């Protein structure tokens, strides 16, 4: 074979009938008419279901299985699987041996390699060989704005739905406690990207209820967050560190708490991204706006949410980034960039999840939030702009990031609506 076929490509060829359908014959010489090629199945079982295939003078209703070579039928164990007894046609690029169902009957097989539409293959080869920013970089201008916008809309939903899987685990582990699940999402976002795992563990150990119980005391909240993080166990101490450590020991005994096992990373990051600063911000967050989660779950306008995020930290952090090392006075209040980060990584996806689970309350508030947040600025978004796709807000930039990372980089053009448009044009 001069060109490396794979099963995904052959499935695409079969689904869109990119072959000479008028001259198909089985390896036994029977003429085939494809009445319905079937529907692609992405779960367990044969590749295409509900197909209608006429072989010789008999019409067969059932499934179609796709392989690069027919020997893969046995290699994949289909000959021992009852689910594959429904296969009425085995479609392979090449046929090296006959295939049999578990019930012992032989499956009609075609070697489709010689029937494939070469024009479509040429376009696919060009996409796969392109080492530019995205495979379809040269062809992208030929696509209609309507097709592009529809796929971008799909990308943002996919990106949000991917987060739902994580939030489902939060909700399940908290026995359906929405406050705790949202609390975990918020705390986790403060640790992104370097300390995500550790911050998630902190949220699960400290719990939302315990934070609410002590929200009136910023000092106690700092003792809890820093104590559970393990940052109060370092040897170098100043007076504030010592006071927090003593308070932590009291709270630790009172509630039976433990520090997280994942060690916080501090290397190669800007001072404002140090875990000490992030934990101080979290403590101030739940001290100044203890009602934040309840407020957001009422799905208020984005500006109403942002107004709640203007608060100051304890005075100690004006002149410190870490314990026992003073610095020039600088406010460590969360910036507009951090607010947008919080929206993109916690508030928006969780609101989407909340709306999805509470169908009677669905308002598309998550999409509205994204439309109200500025576009991210990074190298990927800049490259998209060079291709003529500009991001006016976070909805577009999040969609383009998802498209690039999930489809373009791994060259999943056969699963991309835009890739399909180009291949079928």
Give the pLDDT confidence of 242-268 residue by residue, as tens digits: 999 999 999 999 999 999 999 999 888
Residues 185 and 320 in one domain: yes
Alpha-carbon span 381 to 377, nearest angstrom: 6
2 within domain boundaries: no
**What's the whole-number mean pLDDT along residues 208-231?**
96
Q: What is the pTM of this model?
A: 0.82
Residues 218 and 350 in one domain: yes
Confidence (pLDDT) at 269: 87
CB crowding 190-205: b at 16 or more within 10 Å, else e: bbbebbeebbbbbbbb
Residues 365 and 251 in one domain: yes
- Characterise 260 by phi-psi region: left (phi > 0), alpha (psi -120 to 50), beta (else): beta
Domain count, the chain: 2
- Assign 363 a pLDDT band (cuts: 50, 70, 90): low
E strand or H helix at 365, and its extent? helix 365-371
Confidence (pLDDT) at 119: 86
Residues 312 and 170 in one domain: yes
Give the pLDDT confidence of 287-315 residue by residue, as tens digits: 999 999 999 988 888 899 999 999 999 99
15 within domain boundaries: yes
Alpha-carbon span 214 to 25, nearest angstrom: 76
Confidence (pLDDT) at 1: 39
Cα distances from 19 to residues 89, 116, 380, in angstroms, run 16, 4, 37
Residues 332 and 207 in one domain: yes
Say whether pLDDT at 338 is over 60: yes
Residues 26 and 95 in one domain: yes
**What's the whole-number mean pLDDT along residues 172-198?**
95
Give the pLDDT confidence of 141-179 residue by residue, as tens digits: 999 999 999 999 999 999 999 989 999 999 999 999 999
391 within domain boundaries: no
**Which tokens go with 243?**
């006071």
**What's the whole-number mean pLDDT along residues 345-369?**
85
CA-closest candidate to residue 208, choices 286, 274, 139: 286
Task: Show which of 85, 116, 147 is a domain's final residue.
Answer: 116
97 within domain boundaries: yes
Residues 107 and 173 in one domain: no
Residues 108 and 221 in one domain: no
Residues 111 and 212 in one domain: no
Residues 175 and 290 in one domain: yes
Residues 101 and 223 in one domain: no
414 within domain boundaries: no
Q: What domain range includes position 30?
A: 7-116
Q: What percent of the chain has pLDDT over 90?
A: 84
Confidence (pLDDT) at 2: 41
Task: Show which of 371, 390, 413 is a domain's final residue.
Answer: 371
412 within domain boundaries: no
Confidence (pLDDT) at 142: 94
Task: Show which of 61, 84, 116 is a domain's final residue.
Answer: 116
Residues 360 and 253 in one domain: yes
134 within domain boundaries: no
Give the pLDDT confidence of 63-108 residue by residue, as tens digits: 999 999 999 999 999 999 999 999 999 999 999 999 999 999 999 9
pLDDT: is 416 or 357 the higher one? Answer: 416
398 within domain boundaries: no
For residue 230, the cross-strand partners are none
Confidence (pLDDT) at 361: 58
As a whole number, the mean pLDDT across the chain is 92
Give the pLDDT confidence of 384-398 residue by residue, as tens digits: 999 999 999 999 999
């Amino acid at each position: 074979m001069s060109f490396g076929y794979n099963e995904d490509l052959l499935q695409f060829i079969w689904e869109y009938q990119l072959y000479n359908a008028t001259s198909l014959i089985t390896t036994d010489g029977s003429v085939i008419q494809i009445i319905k090629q079937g529907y692609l199945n992405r779960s367990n079982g044969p590749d295409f279901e509900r197909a209608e295939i006429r072989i010789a003078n008999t019409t067969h209703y059932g499934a179609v299985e796709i392989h690069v070579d027919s020997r893969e039928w046995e290699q994949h164990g289909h000959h021992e699987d009852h689910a594959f007894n429904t296969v009425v046609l085995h479609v392979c690029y090449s046929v090296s041996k006959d295939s049999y169902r578990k019930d012992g009957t032989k499956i009609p097989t075609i070697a489709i390699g010689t029937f494939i539409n070469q024009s479509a293959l040429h376009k696919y080869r060009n996409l796969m060989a392109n080492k530019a920013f995205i495979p379809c970089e040269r062809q992208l201008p030929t696509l209609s704005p309507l097709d592009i916008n529809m796929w971008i809309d799909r990308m943002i939903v996919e990106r949000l739905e991917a987060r739902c899987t994580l939030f489902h685990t939060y909700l399940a582990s908290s026995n359906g406690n929405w406050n705790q699940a949202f609390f975990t999402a918020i705390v986790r976002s403060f640790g992104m990207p370097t300390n995500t795992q550790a911050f998630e563990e902190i949220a699960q150990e400290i719990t939302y209820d315990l934070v609410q119980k002590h929200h009136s005391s910023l000092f106690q909240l700092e003792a809890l967050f820093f104590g559970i993080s393990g940052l109060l166990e370092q040897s170098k101490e100043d007076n504030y560190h010592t006071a927090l450590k003593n308070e932590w020991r009291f709270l630790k005994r009172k509630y039976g708490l433990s520090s997280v096992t994942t060690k916080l990373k501090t290397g190669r990051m800007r001072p404002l991204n140090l875990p000490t600063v992030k934990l101080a911000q979290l403590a101030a967050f739940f001290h100044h706006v203890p009602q934040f989660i309840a407020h957001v779950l009422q799905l208020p306008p984005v500006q109403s949410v942002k107004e709640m995020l203007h608060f100051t930290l304890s005075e100690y952090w004006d002149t410190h980034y870490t314990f026992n090392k003073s610095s020039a006075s600088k406010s460590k209040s969360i910036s507009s960039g951090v607010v947008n980060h919080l929206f993109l990584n916690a508030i928006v996806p969780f609101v989407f999840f909340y709306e999805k689970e509470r169908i009677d309350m669905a308002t598309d508030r998550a999409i509205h939030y994204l439309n109200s947040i500025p576009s991210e600025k990074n190298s990927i978004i800049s490259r998209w702009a060079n291709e003529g796709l500009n991001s006016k807000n976070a909805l577009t930039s999040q969609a383009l990031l998802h498209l690039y990372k999930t489809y373009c980089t791994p060259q999943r053009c056969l699963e991309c609506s835009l890739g399909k448009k180009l291949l079928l044009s």
